Structure 1
Amino acid sequence: MRTVTTAPARPNRPTNVASEATATAAGPAGFWRGLHTPRRAFGREYRLSQVVFALVLGFCLTPWASPPLALALGLALAQTVGNPFSAQTKRLTPKLLQYSVIGLGFGMNAHAALQAGREGILFTVASLLGTLVLGYAVGKWLGLGRNLVHLISCGTAICGGSAIAAVGPVLRARDEEMSVALGTVFVLNALALFAFPPIGHALALTQNQFGLWCAIAIHDTSSVVGAAAAYGTQALQVATTVKLARALWIIPVSLGTALAFKQPGVKVKIPYFILGFIAAMLLNAFVPAIRPLAPFMTHLAKIGLTVTLFFIGAGLSTAAVRAVGVRPFVLGVVLWVVISVGSLYVIMHGA
């Protein structure tokens, strides 16, 4: 009789199974999932992504954080952890930028600002009209809708997101068109903030030249001020003054848009914060009691600008970049390159 020997059954190994589960949870997917898993502490619910966001925001409030670095941190956060407070930052960003611009007015020299505004007026008119005409031609060649073309052209010609936000309701533009236009100028703003200061140093631009170039060639006020602040104090004064004078063109362009696109009965948004900037500058110049507070107000304004750029970067997710599409981005790049190179040539040759 043949005896069959059977191997003993393997005992269960809960320890190994548990360790395998732990290893799986500790993997890349588990790590990112853990960042968004709700937890409780001190009777409150929180997520690790919110803690990371708060820590980076706290760093942006310190003297070690510059506007370009804050934007880079926001972009990195958007592509990795994400922005857990996207609704709040989207609501706060416009107001924080406006208050920061007003605060910068306390650090401006009224006489120098007036001179810079005079020098920049011809550049402003020529570049604004040229950008709108070129945008129409390139947009038609690319086969884009007229609303989207006009939004991107206005954003490039005047002051980025602020101009788009003002002209959009006049056009009765769809949300998709607004999102694509805003995404286009925000991506190019981020590139300009990093690219312009090294280019300025490489070309040995003066403070006045660089400030004027920033005001004309960079879309949003936030990036204009950020790039100019990285270059120098005088560049900051020139750039801020010329850019805000340029932003006043929102009003006539919005009215012209209503007529050209036959949109009666629309309301034009007036950028009142520019009046606040002018008032702060005049108070600093002609009210001696205000001057001791000016450095403190300017310091707060620069911190506000840094946080603003962090919020902008944190809102520029991969999905937002992809939503722009190729053709609208091509239009934005063509307009940006032409106005950047053209204005730089004129500025460097002393026109």
Structure 2
Amino acid sequence: MGLEEVITASKSGFVQTLISVSLVMTGGIVLGRLLRVEKNTTLLIAAGTAICGGSAIAAVAPIIKSENYQNSFALIVVFVLNAIALLLFPFIGQRLGLSQEVFGNWAAIAIHDTSSVVGAGAIYGEKALQVATTVKLIRALWIIPLSIVLAFFSKNGDKRSIKFPWFILLFVAAIFFANIFPAFESSYAHFSWLGRRAMVVALFLIGSNITLHQIKQSGTRCFLLGVTLWVVTAAFSLFLLTR
């Protein structure tokens, strides 16, 4: 992806991300209280939905000092919805005739994990993949401000547990390298293909670790919270992107 394209996607994605992260976190907390889901589990599911799924949950968990079972519940909810979104979003996008750019933005906003965003984008098209990846990684940066807020305002907040999502720097470095050394463009295409295949393997491995027993253990309320938050986020963001 060219540097200019990344900058363009970043500018448009920043405002969308700011609004969506704020709304999803607020809505998730309110909905969690209404459903009487434990506070930490609510925060984990909301963070996973608002930012980047498992990565956000892993970043937030040590800060709010959540229990292992709460982490597991949140991760199971997010991973199950990821698997559904991977197949459902491209189907909906094609049915609605969404453009590559609109679909890329929608996938980045409404699908939890970066891996599933990349997978859905790859299914939909090259441009959708580029936009989705860029906007999603911008979204992942919000792990930092969210972690800071939770560290200061959460009752048991641990400021020392705040972590930077280093994988974003690798993405930026790859973009700059490709723009500085355009002569290797043919090689970049091979690396891109290899990356997409590796992502398929990663998604398979994630899915293979989810069992029906784990899903049942997560509880109806946790799933109801996760599904409701996800559906509302997907529907509302799609409405805004296509109006």
Measured against the shorter chain, the TM-score band is over 0.9
Find the counterpart in structure 1 of residue 24 from structure 2.
131
What per-residue deviation string (whole Å, max 9, x for no partner) do you get for residues 150-183 of structure 1? Answer: 0000000000000000000101110000000000
Q: Is the counterpart of residue 293 in structure 1 residue 190 in structure 2?
A: no
Distance in 1, matches of 2:100 and 2:207, equals 27
Deviation for aligned residue 1:282 = 1.1
Distance in 1, matches of 2:158 and 2:236, equals 35
Q: Is the counterpart of residue 253 in structure 1 residue 146 in structure 2?
A: yes
What per-residue deviation string (whole Å, max 9, x for no partner) do you get for residues 228-269 of structure 1? Answer: 100000000000000000000001101111111142443212
1:206-225 mapped onto 2 (5 Å cutoff) = 206-225=99-118
Of 227, 230, 233, 1:336 maps to 230
Distance in 2, matches of 1:264 and 1:232, equals 41
Q: Which runs of 4+ in 1 moved over 6 A?
A: none
Of 285-294 and 218-227, the range deviating more from structure 2: 285-294
Distance in 2, matches of 1:170 and 1:266, equals 8
Letter in 2 for 1:342: F
Q: Kindly tell me: are residues 220 and 264 of structure 1, through their superposed partners in 2, closer, same or farther at Cα, counting changes over 3 Å?
A: closer
Distance in 2, matches of 1:264 and 1:310, equals 34
Find the counterpart in structure 1 of residue 8 from structure 2.
115
Of 227, 240, 243, 1:346 maps to 240
Structure 2: 5+ residue stretches without partners: none
Q: Is the counterpart of residue 324 in structure 1 residue 221 in structure 2?
A: no
Distance in 2, matches of 1:257 and 1:215, equals 23
Is residue 170–residue 267 contact of structure 1 (8 Å, CA) maintained in 2?
yes
Distance in 2, matches of 1:234 and 1:309, equals 21
Q: Is the counterpart of residue 284 in structure 1 residue 169 in structure 2?
A: no
Q: Kindly tell me: are residues 120 and 255 of structure 1, through their superposed partners in 2, closer, same or farther at Cα, counting changes over 3 Å?
A: same
Percent sequence identity over aligned pairs:
45
Distance in 1, matches of 2:115 and 2:214, equals 19
Deviation for aligned residue 1:111 = 1.2
Q: Is the counterpart of residue 186 in structure 1 residue 79 in structure 2?
A: yes
Find the counterpart in structure 2 of residue 5 from structure 1.
none
Find the counterpart in structure 2 of residue 157 from structure 1.
50
Distance in 2, matches of 1:189 and 1:226, equals 10
Find the counterpart in structure 2 of residue 307 from structure 1.
201
Q: Is the counterpart of residue 233 in structure 1 residue 126 in structure 2?
A: yes
Deviation for aligned residue 1:287 = 1.6
Distance in 2, matches of 1:257 and 1:329, equals 23
Is residue 169–residue 266 contact of structure 1 (8 Å, CA) maintained in 2?
no
Greater C-alpha Rg: 1
Find the counterpart in structure 2 of residue 242 from structure 1.
135
Deviation for aligned residue 1:292 = 3.6
Distance in 2, matches of 1:123 and 1:241, equals 13
Deviation for aligned residue 1:289 = 4.3
RMSD over aligned Cα atoms = 1.1
Distance in 1, matches of 2:82 and 2:181, equals 36
TM-score w.r.t. length of structure 2: 0.97
TM-score w.r.t. length of structure 1: 0.68
What per-residue deviation string (whole Å, max 9, x for no partner) do you get for residues 134-164 of structure 1? Answer: 1111111111111111000000000000000
Q: SS of the counterpart of 1:269?
A: coil
Q: Kindly tell me: are residues 269 and 155 of structure 1, through their superposed partners in 2, closer, same or farther at Cα, counting changes over 3 Å?
A: same
What per-residue deviation string (whole Å, max 9, x for no partner) do you get for residues 258-290 of structure 1? Answer: 111142443212111110011101111122344
